[in-house]
Amino acid sequence: MPQVNFRISEAEKERLEAVSGGNISAYCRDAALSQICLDSQIERLADRQSATERQLAEIARVMKDRDQKREDAAETGMPEELVSCIFETLYLLRLATPRMQLDQARSAIERLGLPYVYNKDIADLVDRTRR
């Protein structure tokens, strides 16, 4: 087995003998190798940290892009006045359309697999208006 020698003072030698329990060679070997192992672990942790930081930066970028797309979509949405006019037009169209045609439209919507949205309150209001 190869040997590694190093110089220490007499006081350091006495301290090593005291803490090593008499086997200075084994104590120094364990201390040096455990330090190498710790250094290796610290290096791996630093690599993981930098990888995690890169992943977090990517997540932050994706979230920022998503938020920007939402803002862009909100800005290009229909103005409230236009939505109000469309609802009013649809409501008046419902009032003027005979019941049989409304049922045919509902059947067509259901055949397409789309949800049919027309609640009881609206139906009652339309019936009262038609009287």
DSSP H helical ranges for 1-131: 10-20, 24-75, 80-96, 99-111, 120-130
Confidence band of 11 (pLDDT split at 50, 70, 90): very high
Do 70 and 121 belong together in one domain?
no
Name the phi and psi angles at 2, rounded to 5: -70, 150
Q: What is the pTM of this model?
A: 0.34
Query: Which residue range is the domain that position 54 belongs to?
Result: 7-77
Whether residue 1 lies inside any domain: the answer is no
Alpha carbon distance 33, 4 (integer Å): 13
In tens, the pLDDT along 17-41 reads 888 888 888 888 888 888 888 888 8
In tens, the pLDDT along 62-112 reads 888 887 877 766 666 666 777 777 778 877 887 788 888 888 888 888 888
Do 33 and 54 belong together in one domain?
yes
The count of domains in the chain is: 2
Confidence band of 120 (pLDDT split at 50, 70, 90): low
Do 72 and 94 belong together in one domain?
no
